[in-house]
Amino acid sequence: MDLPAILRDERLPAVVVDLDAFDRNVAHAAGIVAPSGLSLRLATKSVRVPALIRRALDAGDPYRGLMCFSAEEAHFLADQGFDDLLVAYPTLQRSDLDALRELHEAGKVVWLVVDSADGLRALDAAMAGCEEPFRVVLDVDMSLRLAGLHLGVRRSPLRSADDVLELFRSGRDLAHVRLCGLLGYEAQVAGLPDRNPFKRLLNPAVRWIRGLSVRQVARRRAELGARLRDEGFDLELFNGGGTGSLNLTSREGDILTEVTAGSGLLCSHLFDYYSNVRFEPACFFVLQAVRSSDPGFVTCLGGGYVASGEPGWDKVPVPHAPSGLQLVGAEGCGEVQTPLRVPASAQLSLGQPVAFRHAKAGELAERFAEYLLVRDDRIIDRVPTYRGLGQTFF
């Protein structure tokens, strides 16, 4: 992209989405999943731009439905015309449950993920008086536990088929909810890059953990499905995976009903560091070079968009264009300034735009009101983010 030409009259910082790259990523993810016969549910928190969410779903099969990260977000997206909304994080807050009830009574297909008896009872009470029971999905812990170590994220307390069956059985006594799905997300596979240039010494151990987890998780999900069927429970939805495990989780077409992905469509830089999936960078934030403190250095205005999770250099944005630029270790990306080392081969003058890639795809949208959609070196549309539409959920 010719950023100086594209952004000549634009205010910086700005976010640019390469629509051709985005569309290729949408097609690539679909191509991975389609042979399995599974559906591909789009993770909205990895996009947070309704126009781009709609663009992906409009690609058709195997895209079907959204994975939302809050009840309020699901309600907002329903108002935007979306349906089949899986709220993937439990809530017991009354306002959230009221929002879900409103969607349910309006005829929307909406599911809530639950992982405790308390959460299940709270949801049942909130749905009292509804004509149809509300759909419930149980979240099952898919982390790897070895020699007292917990390898994965700390989410659900449901770790065995017996745990899950106990909660399913208790649901039979509740009049206003219907347990009909499972979510089993293998974070130590989908969210753990095995070619991380910032953690080279750990990469061999990560590959071993991922390989072991893929086999173990597949066995556990198969056991869960079989045990529930044997007791007469019908699983309308069984969800697994993420962008970082898309090709691996899609092998379980006889167990799962769907897989989830989202980050790959925009391809933040963490998704360059997987050996098993490859997507194309499609989203960039652009800063203005405003200072040159010394020969071989420039300083950009803004840039402190550090990703959530374990602190580390892999959560910091990386310079993308012009090529060869490097962050300065003593400062990194700052709220008001980001200094860069400039190689002798690079031509970078003050006032010139500098493109960066965020570590995580969706979090960048919390910083900007709109994204600029670019094709053929020109802006063809401006689309609002959640924040640009006045929505902030966390």
Which CATH number belongs to the domain containing residue 305 in this structure? 2.40.37.20
Q: Are residues 360 and 250 in the same domain?
A: no
In a domain, 272, yes or no: no
Dump the DSSP string for 43-56: EGGGT--HHHHHHH
pLDDT of 129 > 70? The answer is yes
Its pTM stands at: 0.94
Mean pLDDT of 325-341: 94
Of 221, 196, 216, which is closest to residue 140 (Cα–Cα)? 221
Which DSSP state fits 232?
T
The per-residue pLDDT for range 70-97, each reduced to its tens digit, is: 999 999 999 999 999 999 999 999 999 9
Q: Are residues 285 and 357 in the same domain?
A: yes
Mean pLDDT of the chain: 93
pLDDT of residue 181: 95
Q: Are residues 255 and 337 in the same domain?
A: no
In our burial notation (b when 16+ CB lie closer than 10 A, e otherwise), range 7-32 reads beeeebbbbbbbbebbbebbebbbeb
Q: Which of 266, 290, 310 is the last residue of a domain?
A: 266
Of 107, 246, 136, which is closest to residue 190 (Cα–Cα)? 246
Q: Which tokens belong to 143?
A: 């982390």
The per-residue pLDDT for range 216-251, each reduced to its tens digit, is: 899 999 999 999 999 889 899 999 999 999 999 999
Q: Are residues 200 and 149 in the same domain?
A: yes
Distance between CA atoms of residues 177 and 166, nearest Å: 16
Q: Which of 266, 292, 325 is the last residue of a domain?
A: 266
Q: Are residues 74 and 42 in the same domain?
A: yes
98 falls in which pLDDT band (50, 70, 90)? very high
Mean pLDDT of 52-69: 97
In a domain, 161, yes or no: yes
337: domain range? Answer: 3-12+279-389
pLDDT of 203 > 90? The answer is no
pLDDT of 62 > 80? The answer is yes
147 falls in which pLDDT band (50, 70, 90)? low
pLDDT of 254 > 80? The answer is yes
pLDDT of 150 > 80? The answer is no
Distance between CA atoms of residues 310 and 198, nearest Å: 13
Mean pLDDT of 343-372: 93
Domain count, the chain: 2
Q: Is the peptide bond before 322 cis (omega within 30 degrees of 0)?
A: yes
Tokens 């928190």 locate to: 45
Mean pLDDT of 114-133: 95
Mean pLDDT of 379-386: 98
In a domain, 188, yes or no: yes
End-to-end CA separation in angstroms for the chain:
33
Q: Are residues 197 and 300 in the same domain?
A: no
Distance between CA atoms of residues 281 and 59, nearest Å: 19
In a domain, 288, yes or no: yes
In a domain, 329, yes or no: yes
Answer positive or negative: Cα dihedral of 355, 359, 364, 370.
positive
251 and 241 Cβ atoms separated by less than 8 Å: no
Q: Are residues 122 and 172 in the same domain?
A: yes
Distance between CA atoms of residues 187 and 230, nearest Å: 28
In a domain, 271, yes or no: no
CATH of the domain at 238: 3.20.20.10
The answer to which of 53-67, 183-197, 239-253 has the lowest mean pLDDT is 183-197
pLDDT of residue 57: 98
Identity of the amino acid at 154: R
Partners of 314 in beta bridges: none
Q: Are residues 167 and 72 in the same domain?
A: yes
355 and 342 Cβ atoms separated by less than 8 Å: no
In a domain, 78, yes or no: yes
Extract the runs of DSSP E, i.e. beta strands, from the chain.
Answer: 14-18, 39-43, 63-68, 85-87, 110-114, 134-139, 144-146, 149-151, 177-184, 237-240, 258-261, 283-291, 297-301, 318-321, 326-327, 337-341, 353-357, 370-375, 378-384
Per-state percent for the chain, helix, strand, coil, to nearest 5 = 35, 25, 40
- Using N-to-C axis directions, what is the helix angle for 94-105 and 117-126, rounded to 10°? 50
Alpha helical stretches, state H, the chain: 3-6, 19-33, 50-57, 71-79, 94-105, 117-126, 161-171, 187-190, 203-230, 246-249, 263-266
Q: Are residues 210 and 118 in the same domain?
A: yes
348 falls in which pLDDT band (50, 70, 90)? confident
pLDDT of 282 > 90? The answer is yes
pLDDT of 152 > 80? The answer is no
Distance between CA atoms of residues 171 and 162, nearest Å: 14
Q: Are residues 158 and 289 in the same domain?
A: no
Q: Are residues 58 and 148 in the same domain?
A: yes
pLDDT of residue 94: 96
Q: Are residues 346 and 285 in the same domain?
A: yes
In a domain, 215, yes or no: yes
Q: Which of 232, 266, 300 is the last residue of a domain?
A: 266
The per-residue pLDDT for range 304-332, each reduced to its tens digit, is: 999 998 899 999 999 999 999 999 999 99
